[in-house]
């Protein structure tokens, strides 16, 4: 597939860099001509380990370049502070809501060109839907996480979370700073009102969710569920499945109303001097073998339809059109436009 793009020859980079000679003065980080560097962002943890150990080096040797992975969060404020003509990253990897904010500020390109990234032809529709800027390379399903040792049986609906028996062991997120919390707020509108955008219904539902233990990132929720501090919570499937094989008394519930989509999105910055390499990277991340390796490491559902996961993963992740159809995508553009107003409201709702 990559052949179609043509080889990324050294000379091309030389000319590309030379033509930008003046830009170099204003640009803090232009790669040296003899060593093209693609600057990307990426998660830490197991994802980071495997990127550094296998997937990154394989990309570097195939495309004769260096990958510089920034895994120090938060990425967007750094991109925001850097010059538009010489952005700090070529490819940004982060969650969908931040990608939308970045696209609105003109920091990332809203779409990826399928001619330059041939693997886009093989992704599920959600990955390049109108709810996505760039392309979603993986997704997780946001649903309910629960303890299996507390006799909570027959949980099938999101509405179960409001049951009084979970008072004291109910878990949620800090909505202003957490994607899962924000997606869940939209779900509340769907569950108790006219739809995702029914904020008043959502606020009322959140009010009734108290008492609730709220955390700002999912790792903390995983810990609280594992230690029994929380018995029923909003969580993404990978946050439960990653403990597979450790005999933890926890399980993931896919509610009948559908699961929310937590996309891992790649975008390219408009000012990038490494456009060709950037597109090559996006394409590379969508390759079936790369997708399979990462999916089976961190329990993310691959966006590429052609990926065949091992049975254990295939059984739990969203790997068929039918399973993928249960995904509910959030309209982040709509949400971000109202973020300040929503933050104000939920800050008050959850104030102690």
Span 194-223, contacts to another protein by CB under 8 A: 213-217, 219-220, 222-223
The stretch among 47-55, 152-160, 273-281, 327-335 that binds another protein (CB under 8 A) is 47-55
Contact flag: residue 44 with another protein (CB under 8 A): yes
The stretch among 122-130, 200-208, 226-234, 262-270 that binds another protein (CB under 8 A) is 226-234
List CB contacts of 261: < 8 A, sequence separation 6 or more: 96, 126, 136, 139, 140, 141, 142, 183, 327, 328, 329, 330
Instruction: Compare residues 71 and 254 and give the one whose CB is closer to another protein.
Output: 71
Q: Which x/- pattern, by CB under 8 A, does the window 70-109 give for another protein?
A: xxxxx-xxx-xxxxx----------------x---x----
Residue 48 beta carbon to another protein: minimum distance, rounded to whole angstroms: 8
Contact flag: residue 249 with another protein (CB under 8 A): no
Contact flag: residue 246 with another protein (CB under 8 A): yes
Q: Which of 60, 122, 229, 314 binds another protein (CB under 8 A)?
A: 229
User: Please, how many CA atoms are within 13 Å of residue 252, restricted to the half-sphere of its CB?
Assistant: 21
Instruction: Compare residues 2 and 58 and give the one whose CB is closer to another protein.
Output: 58
Contact flag: residue 29 with another protein (CB under 8 A): yes
Contact flag: residue 52 with another protein (CB under 8 A): yes
| Other CB atoms within 10 A of residue 106 CB | 12
Contact flag: residue 57 with another protein (CB under 8 A): no
Residue 351 beta carbon to another protein: minimum distance, rounded to whole angstroms: 6
From CA 260, how far away is CA 328, in angstroms rounded?
Answer: 5
Residue 121 beta carbon to another protein: minimum distance, rounded to whole angstroms: 31
- Checking DSSP bridges between strand 259-268 and strand 91-95, what pairing results, if any? antiparallel
Span 128-187, contacts to another protein by CB under 8 A: 168, 174, 176-177
Instruction: Compare residues 84 and 159 and give the one whose CB is closer to another protein.
Output: 84
Q: Which of 46, 194, 308, 312 binds another protein (CB under 8 A)?
A: 46
Q: Do 295 and 138 meet the contact criterion of CB atoms below 8 Å apart?
A: yes
Residue 46 beta carbon to another protein: minimum distance, rounded to whole angstroms: 7
Q: Which two tokens stand for residue 183?
A: 């997606």
Q: Which two tokens stand for residue 216?
A: 């700002």
Residue 210 beta carbon to another protein: minimum distance, rounded to whole angstroms: 10
List CB contacts of 53: < 8 A, sequence separation 6 or more: none
Residue 163 beta carbon to another protein: minimum distance, rounded to whole angstroms: 18
Instruction: Compare residues 101 and 123 and give the one whose CB is closer to another protein.
Output: 101
Residue 87 beta carbon to another protein: minimum distance, rounded to whole angstroms: 9
Contact flag: residue 2 with another protein (CB under 8 A): no
From CA 276, how far away is CA 298, in angstroms rounded?
Answer: 28
Buried b / exposed e over 221-242, threshold 16 CB at 10 Å, is bbebbbeeebbbbbbbbbbbbb
Instruction: Compare residues 171 and 255 and give the one whose CB is closer to another protein.
Output: 171
Buried b / exposed e over 135-156, threshold 16 CB at 10 Å, is bbbbbbbbbbbbbeeeebeebe
Max Cα-Cα span within the chain: 67
Let me know the angle formed at the C-alpha of 218 by 254 and 336, rounded to the nearest 5 degrees.
Answer: 85
Residue 349 beta carbon to another protein: minimum distance, rounded to whole angstroms: 10
From CA 282, how far away is CA 112, in angstroms rounded?
Answer: 9
Q: Do 54 and 226 meet the contact criterion of CB atoms below 8 Å apart?
A: no
List CB contacts of 294: < 8 A, sequence separation 6 or more: 47, 50, 55, 138, 300, 302
Binding residues (CB under 8 A) for another protein: these are: 25-29, 39, 43-48, 52, 68-74, 76-78, 80-84, 101, 105, 168, 174, 176-177, 213-217, 219-220, 222-224, 226-229, 243, 246, 339-340, 343-344, 347-348, 350-352
């Amino acid at each position: 597939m990559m052949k179609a793009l043509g080889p990324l020859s050294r000379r091309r980079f030389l000319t590309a860099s030379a033509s930008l000679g003046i830009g170099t003065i204003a640009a803090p980080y232009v790669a040296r001509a003899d060593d093209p560097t693609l600057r990307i962002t990426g998660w830490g943890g197991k994802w980071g380990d495997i990127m550094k150990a296998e997937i990154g080096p394989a990309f570097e040797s195939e495309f004769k370049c260096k990958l510089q992975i920034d895994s120090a969060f938060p990425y967007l404020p750094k991109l925001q502070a850097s010059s538009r003509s010489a952005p700090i990253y070529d490819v940004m990897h982060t969650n969908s809501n931040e990608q939308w904010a970045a696209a609105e500020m003109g920091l990332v390109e809203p779409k990826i060109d399928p001619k330059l990234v041939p693997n886009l032809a093989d992704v599920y529709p959600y990955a390049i839907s109108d709810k996505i800027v760039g392309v979603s390379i993986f997704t997780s399903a946001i649903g309910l996480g629960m303890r299996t040792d507390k006799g909570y049986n027959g949980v099938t609906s999101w509405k179960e979370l409001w049951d009084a028996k979970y008072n004291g062991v109910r878990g949620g997120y800090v909505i202003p700073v957490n994607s899962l919390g924000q997606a869940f707020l939209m779900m509340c509108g769907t569950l108790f009102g006219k739809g995702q955008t029914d904020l008043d219904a959502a606020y009322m539902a959140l009010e009734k969710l108290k008492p609730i233990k709220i955390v700002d990132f999912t790792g903390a929720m995983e810990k609280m569920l594992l230690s029994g501090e929380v018995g029923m919570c909003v969580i993404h499937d990978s946050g439960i499945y990653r403990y597979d094989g450790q005999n933890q008394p926890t399980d993931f519930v896919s509610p009948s109303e559908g699961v929310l989509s937590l996309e891992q999105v790649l975008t390219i910055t408009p000012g990038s001097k490494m456009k060709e390499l950037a597109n090559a990277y996006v394409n590379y991340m969508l390759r079936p073998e790369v997708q399979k390796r990462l999916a089976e490491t961190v329990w993310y559902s691959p966006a590429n339809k052609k990926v065949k996961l091992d049975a254990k993963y295939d059984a739990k992740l969203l790997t068929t059109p039918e399973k993928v159809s249960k995904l509910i995508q959030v309209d982040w553009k709509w949400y971000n436009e109202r973020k300040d107003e929503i933050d104000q409201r939920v800050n008050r709702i959850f104030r102690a």
